[in-house]
Chains A and B, each alone.
Chain A
Amino acid sequence: MRWLSLMEKLRAPLMILPAVATIILLFFGGLLVGLGQSLGYFPAIDSYDLTLQYYAEVLSDNIFFESLWQTFRLALLSTVMSSVLAIALALVLRQTFKGSRFFTFMFQLSIPIPHLVAAAGIVLLVSQSGILARGAYALGLIDAPRDFPVMVFDRPGTAIQLTYLWKEVPFIGVVVLAVLQGIGPQYEEVARTLGANSWQRFRFVLLPLIMPGVLSTSIIVFAYVFASYEIPLLLGVRHPTTLPVLAFQNYQDPDLSLRPQAMAMSIILTLIAIVLLVAYKRLANYAVSR
């Protein structure tokens, strides 16, 4: 009998163990090794003494800060624009109308499409010799590719943001849509009878209800863009590039002594991401509860 109750007690921990063990071993294990190297514990180059030297080197470098700003800017803009657009489109799509299933499918279309393919598609569309530029030429709006606005390999990273918008709007939108459809019309009906106009109905009825979903998905999107590598590498300027690109460049440099710097850079990136996201969650919760 005691055996059985022990089993019952251990049941939940045992069910959780495989997932937790996998994440701890792989993710936190990897994190720990990276942390060790960033502090100078790197047996491969006979370095065992712990030091903050690599952090000092990274933090004394302007390039690091320029890349950090670029990374932050891209992540922030992509997240804000995706969230706003996603909410707007979800509000349109939640109504049931003829063909709404087709349109919902079209809206979801980019969710499964790999980021690399999206990047290729965006380049073919918006580069200075892309489809849009050719259209503009055919309409007589431009005379040569260089007259077309620069969107690929530009400092603001327009094509990078377009790629993320195209990918992430439906991701956030689908979650918002799921929440909206779960709500049903009653709340709004009540608000309407109480004399709320459509903005008030949105602001005080719908928004608080969809906010948790928007919050979580926008955190995921922010974190994803903050850590992204291949899109800025393919579509961005060489300098300033994003921190993950910079870190991987240092990591993959045949000069192994740059490794600890790459690790230090990524650890700082990780810390900043955590601080930003916790602050964001606090701030958003505060704003919604007001």
Chain B
Amino acid sequence: MNKILRWLVLAIIVITALAPILPQFVWSFSHRWLFPSLLPSQWSTEPWEYVFTATSRVGEGFFNSLAIAVVVSLLSILVGLPASRALALHNFRGKSAIEWLLMVPIIVPGIVATMGIHQVFIRLGLTDTFIGVCLVHLIPCIPYMVLVMSSVFANYGTELEDTARTLGAGTFSVWRFVTLPGILPGLLVATMFTFLISWGQYITTVLIGGGTIITLPMVLFPFISGTNYPNAAAISLVFVAPAILVLIFTSRQLGRESSVMGGFGRL
């Protein structure tokens, strides 16, 4: 009985996971697919041909989204990793205040800040620029980086580093051969979060990018709101592919490494 129930639940998990995605494959090859046909009455590769034209700007959007997400992730690591280590391994006055401060952007709705930043960036000449978009994406990314990595550092003993140092390893060697391998699984997950947060941003990019920086969600949005489902589906799949790749790389850490996702319990 219990076993049947479990398999039923598992079947539902698989079906619901795929139900919104698989039909998009069919839609992306359809030309004419009206109610009540269960399959397109006319098939076509037009949506995919459109995706690969310069007109669709899918290619441009893809590479912009990718470049922004990579830069934002690197910046998040650069800024967030030292902070996470300090929060996990050092004690200092005002620490809990700092912890809260760094979490505020994921708890407090960002719309005021985004609109305020927009006003400031116009004056600084940062609107319509790549770096301006990266900076505004960075805001929600830093908290996730700190959340995951401070938990990782908290479960990570520094004894090994000390040992390596007494054995004469330099700062870089310690970092490269001791610290990095120790935190790498967690870092992968944290970077996955920052990458995906940036990858999915819409309204912030529209506002700060001002139409000059075109990203994938901006290419996709008009087709969903315009109910052009064949093109929307094809672009959706392009949009999903790297995200799934990222998950494949991090799935094991996400599922098994309790100290990584456990960080969310410390918020």
Contacts and interface: CB of A to CB of B under 8 A. Distances in A.
Interface residues of B, number: 91
Contacts of B34: 129
A118 B20 CA distance: 7
Size category of the binding interface on chain A: 35 or more
Contacts, number: 293
Interface in B244-264: 244, 246-247, 251, 254-262, 264
Contacts of A134: 35-38
Nearest to B138: A22
A56 to B, nearest CB: 18
Interface in A86-139: 89, 92-93, 95, 97, 101, 103-125, 129, 131, 133-135, 137-138
A279 interface: no
B251 A104 contact: yes
Contacts of B38: 134-135, 138
B232 interface: yes
Nearest to A224: B106
Dominant secondary structure of chain B at its interface with chain A: helix
Interface stretch (A45-53, A199-207, A266-274, A282-290): A266-274
Contacts of B127: none
A23 B224 contact: no
Interface string A1-27: 000000000011111101110111011
Nearest to B145: A19
A124 B35 contact: no
Given A135-B38, A174-B254, A92 B109 contact: no
A112 B262 CA distance: 18
Contact of B258 (A27, A179, A212, A215): A179
Given A103-B13, A120-B236, A182-B262, A33 B102 contact: no
Given A89-B9, A178-B262, A274-B108, A33 B120 contact: yes
Contact of B255 (A30, A104, A251, A277): A104
Nearest to B21: A121
A35 interface: yes
A31 B107 CA distance: 14
B116 A133 contact: no
A234 B224 contact: yes
Contacts of B82: 14-16, 18-19
B107 A16 contact: no
Interface stretch (B43-51, B55-63, B170-178, B195-203): B195-203
Contacts of B101: 20, 23-24
B254 A124 contact: no
Given A178-B261, A227-B111, A124 B24 contact: yes
A179 B255 CA distance: 10
A112 B111 contact: no
Given A108-B251, A112-B246, A270-B109, A125 B83 contact: no
Contact of A270 (B90, B106, B108, B224): B108
* Top 10 A-B pairs, shortest CB-CB distance: A121-B20, A227-B109, A182-B258, A30-B116, A33-B116, A216-B267, A30-B113, A112-B243, A19-B83, A15-B82
23 contacts: A11-B90, A18-B79, A19-B82, A19-B142, A19-B146, A23-B139, A29-B117, A29-B120, A30-B112, A34-B115, A35-B112, A92-B10, A109-B18, A111-B247, A114-B199, A117-B24, A120-B220, A120-B229, A131-B23, A178-B262, A213-B265, A234-B221, A248-B111
Given A22-B142, A26-B113, 11 more contacts: A16-B86, A19-B83, A24-B101, A34-B113, A38-B112, A109-B17, A109-B247, A111-B254, A113-B240, A124-B20, A270-B108
